[in-house]
Chains A and B, each alone.
Chain A
Amino acid sequence: MDTALDTTPLGHNVPLAERAYRIRRNALLMGEVQGQGYIGQALDIADVLAVSYFHAMKYRPEDPHWEERDRFLLSNGHYAIALYAALIEAGIVPAEELETYGSDDSRLPMSGMASYTPGMEMSGGSLGLGLSIAVGIGLGLKRKNSASRVYTLFSDGELDEGSVWEAIMSAAHYKLDNMIAIVDVNNQQADGPSTQVMAFEPLVDKLEAFGWFVQRVDGNDMDAVVAAFDAAKSHPEAKPRMIVCDTKMGKGVPFLEAREKNHFIRVDAHEWQLALDALDAGRTA
């Protein structure tokens, strides 16, 4: 298959499934550039990013600092490959930059940083930072009487960080109903399955007890994710909103889904093309 980029702009009526496919494809192409990347996570979170950028959030691709935009914080900075894939699909980052991923002088470093990339609102990498920043942004938006929301994507492993719970407690204290957090429960972190590294369940009960409006969905079920984002936006209570997304590492590429689960999925040099082929096969199926 020819992996040359198709940079034709997409119209507004592109189905979310197609957006998710293209985000996954962008991520695989970037992974191929470096021969590595957190591709398992990028594939698992692509559906959530498609809903975020093509259903839920307001932004102007040509003006990443537009004051009325919704803010999107990538707390799990190692998911940068996934967010770049979405930013490219959204037209915030030019598609030509895809092939610079992780290279010297690229605007797309392997870990997400605010000063490098248009549309990247925070510097992640050190896990557990995003929700605290989001609390400040949520408070700041309210000071400005802004109708914008702050979305924060973080990973289940970050639940181990005490600061995450500091932020969760304070968001409820300040009734930050402009705050929507998404936790990716793929049950993988550096040293093994997240629930074995540190038991965080029952997560919904905990978050509700902390004063949040909480939904738990299959993060790879597009309709369920759309419904959850809609409910998070329209929920009437003055509470911060959490969407717990159960996702599958490697989603969309069956041989990666089946691979022994690991925080950092190894992909051999010849397998990137196979992965792209498998993704395409799933698209037409």
Chain B
Amino acid sequence: MSTAANTTAKPRLKTSAMIASIAAEGQRTKPAPFGHALVELAKQRNEIVGMTADLAKYTDLHIFAQAYPDRFYQMGMAEQLLMGAASGMAHEGMMPFVTTYAVFASRRAYDFVHQTVAEENRNVKIACALPGLTSGYGPSHQAAEDLALFRAMPNMVVIDPCDAHEIEQVVPAMAAHNGPVYMRLLRGNVPLVLDEYDYKFELGKAKLLRDGAEVLVISSGIMTMRALELAQRLETDKVGVAVLHVPTIKPLDTETILREAARTGRMVVVAENHTVIGGLGEAVAGTLLRGGVAPVFRQIGLPDEFLKAGALPTLHDLYGISTDAMAASIKGWL
């Protein structure tokens, strides 16, 4: 029983299940910063090769493939082979940049990364799209535990960059480090935020992006972007929010974390796009406990459950990692 009135009024349902960019509407962005940075770096470093498991287009590696077709290796939809072959390439002195989705590198190919890359300490750089909750596809594509898995792997450096500005700097830093690295990759039109903060990425270093007297948010990845937004909002409520960005999850900059957390009177909130198990939150908690620093401590992160499918903004609200939800949580805790 359709009428003219309700057909026109009926809003079109939106889904971001296939979202290619994490950017909010109207946000400043840069296209494919990983792909372009890799092309730039490969001009100077002939040993760089690109390898993927049928996801070049979805990890911005197609930019590299177009620029250097003879240095690009399509391994097919076979992530275990991808990691083993990358180890073999590194064995021969190449520096493979390997891409797939975070779920496949961490969950499907874990033993291959563990044994052929990390245990053999091969110079393999793994860059994975759809980290944490950045897909509305459901658990098959939601890598809620990627940081926990790669943190637990000896020799592995783990990086969770915030935006395009940072990714451009992380790519050469990955190459400068001799050994395996896992990077959470933001693909497509990637938000541009940190260029306004006079920010410079340094491997293993946490950076205080802004100061504040009431709350210290310790965050990585896209959560830093949101922490900066909520800090501005809470400023109008006269709540001072400091933001400590920790892009290198491993090795963790424990010195800076302890120094900032030891400043009296501030509640420490760790915000992560990751399950609350085994990620930045627990890494910071352990650091504080071992360091004898005991502030009021709260965690913003994904729950220990299989996450729902749906539109990403809805899911981020539901699980408390949207800017609105984070601001509400922090106000409630104060």
A144 neighbours in B (Cβ, 8 Å): 92-93
Q: Contact at B84–A140, with CB atoms within 8 Å? A: no
B110-154 residues at the A interface, CB under 8 angstroms: 111-112, 115-116, 119-121
Q: Contact at B78–A125, with CB atoms within 8 Å? A: no
Measured CB to CB, the nearest residue on chain A to B94 is: A140
Q: Contact at B93–A132, with CB atoms within 8 Å? A: no
Q: Contact at B89–A122, with CB atoms within 8 Å? A: no
Q: Contact at A132–B81, with CB atoms within 8 Å? A: yes
Measured CB to CB, the nearest residue on chain A to B77 is: A166
- A114 on the interface (CB 8 Å rule)? yes
- A40 on the interface (CB 8 Å rule)? no
Measured CB to CB, the nearest residue on chain B to A162 is: B80
Measured CB to CB, the nearest residue on chain B to A161 is: B80
Measured CB to CB, the nearest residue on chain A to B124 is: A136
**Bound-complex Cα distance A133 to B81 (A):** 8
Q: Contact at A135–B91, with CB atoms within 8 Å? A: no
Contact of B88 among A113, A123, A134, A163 (CB under 8 A): A134
A122 neighbours in B (Cβ, 8 Å): 87, 91, 116, 120
- A129-B112, A132-B84, A140-B88 known; A170+B120 contact, CB < 8 A: no
Contact of A167 among B73, B81, B86, B89 (CB under 8 A): B81
Q: Contact at B119–A166, with CB atoms within 8 Å? A: no
Residue-wise interface mask of A (136-166) relative to B, using a CB-CB cutoff of 8 A (1 in contact, 0 not): 1111110110100010000000000011001
Q: Contact at B84–A163, with CB atoms within 8 Å? A: yes
Q: Contact at B120–A114, with CB atoms within 8 Å? A: yes
Q: Contact at B80–A143, with CB atoms within 8 Å? A: no
A89 neighbours in B (Cβ, 8 Å): none
- A121 on the interface (CB 8 Å rule)? yes
Rounded to whole Å, the gap between the CB of B249 and the closest CB of chain A is 25
B84 neighbours in A (Cβ, 8 Å): 129, 131-133, 135-136, 163, 167
A113 neighbours in B (Cβ, 8 Å): 119
Measured CB to CB, the nearest residue on chain A to B49 is: A143
Measured CB to CB, the nearest residue on chain B to A150 is: B88
B94 neighbours in A (Cβ, 8 Å): 140, 143
Q: Contact at B120–A115, with CB atoms within 8 Å? A: yes
Rounded to whole Å, the gap between the CB of A132 and the closest CB of chain B is 3
**Bound-complex Cα distance A125 to B119 (A):** 12
**Bound-complex Cα distance A253 to B73 (A):** 47
Measured CB to CB, the nearest residue on chain B to A148 is: B92
**Bound-complex Cα distance A115 to B91 (A):** 12
A134 neighbours in B (Cβ, 8 Å): 88
Give how many A residues have a beta carbon under 8 Å from the other chain's beta carbons: 33
Measured CB to CB, the nearest residue on chain B to A130 is: B84
Rounded to whole Å, the gap between the CB of A179 and the closest CB of chain B is 10
**Bound-complex Cα distance A150 to B89 (A):** 12
- B83 on the interface (CB 8 Å rule)? yes
**Bound-complex Cα distance A133 to B73 (A):** 14
B85 neighbours in A (Cβ, 8 Å): 132-133, 135-136, 139, 167, 170
Among B73, B76, B80, B86, which residue has the most Cβ atoms of chain A within 10 A? B80
Q: Contact at B81–A163, with CB atoms within 8 Å? A: yes
Q: Contact at A121–B91, with CB atoms within 8 Å? A: yes
- B75 on the interface (CB 8 Å rule)? yes
**Bound-complex Cα distance A92 to B293 (A):** 53
Contact of A133 among B49, B96, B111, B116 (CB under 8 A): B116
A169 neighbours in B (Cβ, 8 Å): 76, 78
Q: Contact at B88–A136, with CB atoms within 8 Å? A: yes
B86 neighbours in A (Cβ, 8 Å): 136
- A132-B81, A135-B81 known; A126+B88 contact, CB < 8 A: no
Q: Contact at A132–B49, with CB atoms within 8 Å? A: no
Measured CB to CB, the nearest residue on chain A to B111 is: A126
**Bound-complex Cα distance A114 to B119 (A):** 9
**Bound-complex Cα distance A125 to B116 (A):** 11
Rounded to whole Å, the gap between the CB of B55 and the closest CB of chain A is 15
Q: Contact at B119–A123, with CB atoms within 8 Å? A: yes
Residue-wise interface mask of B (2-43) relative to A, using a CB-CB cutoff of 8 A (1 in contact, 0 not): 000000000000000000000000000000000000000000
B120 neighbours in A (Cβ, 8 Å): 114-115, 122-123
- A122-B116, A123-B116, A163-B84 known; A136+B78 contact, CB < 8 A: no
Top-10 shortest CB links A-B: A136-B88, A132-B84, A140-B92, A136-B85, A166-B81, A137-B88, A166-B78, A163-B80, A133-B88, A136-B89
Interface residues of A (CB under 8 A from B): 71, 113-115, 121-123, 125-126, 128-129, 131-141, 143-144, 146, 150, 162-163, 166-167, 169-170, 173
5 more contacts with CB within 8 A, not counting A123-B115, A140-B93, are: A115-B120, A126-B111, A132-B88, A135-B84, A140-B88
A to B CB contacts below 8 Å, 12 in the list: A122-B87, A125-B115, A129-B116, A133-B88, A137-B89, A137-B92, A139-B85, A139-B88, A139-B89, A140-B92, A170-B75, A170-B85
